[in-house]
Amino acid sequence: MVQLRKIGVLTSGGDAPGMNAAIRAVVRTAVFNGLEIVGVKRGYNGLLNEDFIEMDARSVGETLQKGGTILQTARCAEFKTPEGVKKAVEIAKKNSIDGLIVIGGDGSFRGARDLTREGLATIAMPGTIDNDINCSEYTVGYDTCLNTVIEAVDKLRDTSSSHERCSVVEVMGRGAGYIAIEAAIACGAEVVLIPEEPFDFRKDVIDIIEQGKKRGKKHCIVIVAEGVGGTVEMAKKIEEETGIESRATILGHVQRGGSPTVRDRVIASQMGARSVELLLEGKSNRIVCMQHNEIVDVDIEEGLNMKKHISKDLIKLAKQLAI
């Protein structure tokens, strides 16, 4: 077994608020345990380009409260090839990097698994606003993103109500509806459309909006997950079929920014610290994740193959409270 002397940390894929808190926890736990630590810039690109920065406890000062990632992030096509992975491991070894911590989503985790197969110890932890990592109840960035979404939708509700309009709001989430369903409950949306739940446009959208109007509602909020899409066309169709003026808003990348919430700072700190501890314990090819509200770790391959579902109770609750 390699005696651990120096480790690296990178952020990969879409950024998420709380990534800096995770980097800070990794760096300080490494320093606390007498390890050298380097930051790898721009995800897997930095490994291939030897773009490293030496880090110490002070290099992560004043970062806990900042959104984004101080290491920058990227998507790297070259790394996805077997040659790219081999080259990355050779470069890590040349630079005496004995282990790597990867903060990102499931694409980044596949990269970490490939690095382990080629002989570099890796630990991955979930940093993505989408909350779509199957082995984890929570991903760093999700709570901050939801808070950004509800702030925006609350504002849209003001103007929708004044104009007696329907506001159709598209939220991120890639192929998953986690952001949409929780935002819908937190904002009191009349309708929520997620990719996991088939819907009938007449029954689940138009009828609900018309019934709401009859009951005296002054506005209508429809939350659409980006995995469902068609938001602009949907607003037009709603206006045509109900006669209620409708406007589409695509919230977009604003959802990825901002100072992380307490929940994101604390979970990022716990997961970042645990990642380093796992390397110190001689473990590799693990995902640090949350299960039953505890920070645990699972094998990367097993973690990627796990299944997670949007709670049917949440879907029911969103409908029940929208009357």
The verdict on 128 binding ligand F6P (CB under 6 A) reads: yes
**110 versus 163: smaller Cβ distance to ligand ADP:** 110
Helix, strand and coil percent figures for the chain, each rounded to 5? 45, 20, 35
Q: Which residues contact 102 (CB under 8 A, 6 or more apart)?
A: 10, 12, 108, 109, 111, 112, 122, 123, 124, 125
Query: What DSSP designation does 17 have?
Result: T
Q: Which partner from the list ligand ADP, ligand F6P, none does 229 bind, CB cut-off 5 to 8 Å by kind? A: none
Query: Residue count at the site for ligand F6P (CB under 6 A)?
Result: 10
**36 versus 301: smaller Cβ distance to ligand ADP:** 301
The residues that touch ligand ADP, with contacts defined as CB under 6 A, are 12-14, 43-44, 75-76, 79-80, 104-108, 110-111, 114, 128
Residue span binding ligand F6P (CB under 6 A) among the ranges 83-91, 113-121, 172-180, 237-245? 172-180
Task: State how far the Cα of 142 lies from the Cα of 102, in Å rounded to an integer.
Answer: 18
143 is catalytic: no
The verdict on 42 binding ligand F6P (CB under 6 A) reads: no
Q: Which partner from the list ligand F6P, ligand ADP, none does 190 bind, CB cut-off 5 to 8 Å by kind? A: none
The verdict on 256 binding ligand F6P (CB under 6 A) reads: yes
168 burial class (0-12, 13-18, 19+ CB within 10 angstroms)?
A: buried
Catalytic option among 98, 106, 130, 132: 130
Considering only residues 130 through 149, tell me which ones interact with ligand F6P, judged by CB under 6 A. 130
Task: State how far the Cα of 279 lies from the Cα of 101, in Å rounded to an integer.
Answer: 9
Query: What DSSP designation does 197 have?
Result: S
**DSSP letters along 258-301, please?**
SPPPHHHHHHHHHHHHHHHHHHHTT--SEEEEEETTEEEEEEHH
The verdict on 172 binding ligand F6P (CB under 6 A) reads: yes
Smallest separation, CB 316 to ligand ADP (Å): 30
* Residue numbers annotated as active site: 130
Residue ranges in contact with ligand F6P by CB under 6 A: 14, 105, 128-130, 172-174, 226, 256
